[in-house]
Amino acid sequence: MSISKRLEEARKAFRQKDGRASAQAHSPDAIARAFERRHTERHGGTSHQYIGDLVYGGLDGIITTFAVVSGVAGAELGTHVILILGLANLFADGFSMATGAFLSSRSEQEYYENELAREKWEIEHFPEGERLELYHLYLHQGYSEEDARKLVEIKTKEPEAWLQSMMVEELGLLPDERKPLLSALATLAAFVVAGALPLLVYLAGMVIPIPSHLSFPISLALSGLALFGLGAAKVYVTGQNPLRSGLEMLIVGGLAAGVAYAVGALLKGLGA
């Protein structure tokens, strides 16, 4: 059992208030097996690292694209305008989000690496000052003076453990093991795939005859189902109740679409 799998079981047990399942997840054997695979999991990477990028990229894709569709439909500007604005929004916003995800992830990693290098240099050149910092950090956390001294002694025995302690205890920083490029690609793929759903019926209408008065209701239904599904999938990131999470996202997306439709309806005379 991997660490991520054991954590997933522990979270599920907590949500269900299942003491027996929680005890199994915290059994000596389960913990030992999980940490035997820790090195491989951390350095080999896991798809779980990119679930947040996939879920939030997909949600943004549906909401923004369907808002465009709703606005144009409210203004009664026709299918060709929906497709032009919808596809332009889909790829432009998708690329923008992917770029933002890449730059954000890379910036965070660069900041972590710079702070790591600084802490390493300070430990090498001012070890007593760094020990004193750790000592006061532990006192601030509520440890007694004796326990704080023991913790400092333990933590500073190994240079790598000492360095990681300074990063976590002093700076509150943990390494982000996601690859910025993969994070960007996951965001882009989710945005484009999910964001294409509101446009699907209009694209299909170019090949097969679909009554024009049915196009928007079908797009609405597809978008609603996708919003609910991705909102429910968001529990892999947030740990919330899937039904509640799905309904919340459906309501938020519906409000965004409603506002866009209302604005389009109010301004439809401008497109004449």
Q: What is the CA radius of gyration of the chain?
A: 25
DSSP result, 206-267: TTS---HHHHHHHHHHHHHHHHHHHHHHTHHHH---HHHHHHHHHHHHHHHHHHHHHHHHHT
Q: How confident is residue 5, by pLDDT bands cut at 50, 70 and 90?
A: low
pLDDT of amino acid 95: 92
pLDDT of amino acid 45: 44
Q: How confident is residue 192, by pLDDT bands cut at 50, 70 and 90?
A: very high
pLDDT of amino acid 212: 76
pLDDT at 2 over 70: no
CA dist list (Å): 154 to 45, 159, 172, 267: 30, 11, 19, 69
Q: DSSP letter at 17? A: T
pLDDT of amino acid 31: 67
Q: How confident is residue 237, by pLDDT bands cut at 50, 70 and 90?
A: low
Q: How confident is residue 75, by pLDDT bands cut at 50, 70 and 90?
A: confident
Query: What mean pLDDT comes out for the span 244-256?
Result: 83
The region that residue 228 occupies, defined by phi over 0 for left and psi between -120 and 50 for alpha, beta otherwise, is alpha
pLDDT of amino acid 92: 92
Terminal C-alpha separation, the chain: 63
Query: What mean pLDDT comes out for the span 45-73?
Result: 78
Mean pLDDT of the chain: 81
* Residue 149 CA to its chain's centroid (Å): 39
CA dist list (Å): 259 to 2, 66, 262: 45, 11, 5
CA dist list (Å): 260 to 80, 142, 267: 18, 52, 11
pLDDT of amino acid 43: 45
pLDDT of amino acid 34: 65
pLDDT of amino acid 188: 92
Q: DSSP letter at 141? A: T
Q: Give residues with Cβ within 8 angstroms of 144, minimum separation 6.
A: none
pLDDT of amino acid 179: 87
Return the closest-CA partner of residue 53 out of 181, 200, 173.
181
Whether this model's pTM surpasses 0.75: no
How many residues make up the chain in this entry?
A: 272
Q: Could you give the percent of the chain with pLDDT greater than 90?
A: 10
Q: Give residues with Cβ within 8 angstroms of 213, minimum separation 6.
A: none
pLDDT at 218 over 50: yes
Q: Give the tens place of pLDDT for each residue, 77-114.
A: 888 888 998 899 899 999 998 999 899 889 988 998 99
pLDDT at 11 over 70: no
pLDDT at 50 over 90: no
DSSP collapsed to 3 states, 185-219: HHHHHHHHHHHCHHHHHHHHCCCCCCCHHHHHHHH
> How many Å apart are CA 83 and CA 100, to the nearest integer?
25
Neighbours of 48 (CB within 10 A): 15
> How many Å apart are CA 206 and CA 120, to the nearest integer?
62
3-class secondary-structure state, position 176? coil
Q: DSSP letter at 175? A: -
Domain ranges for the chain, please list them: 1-44, 51-107+178-271, 116-170
Q: How confident is residue 1, by pLDDT bands cut at 50, 70 and 90?
A: very low
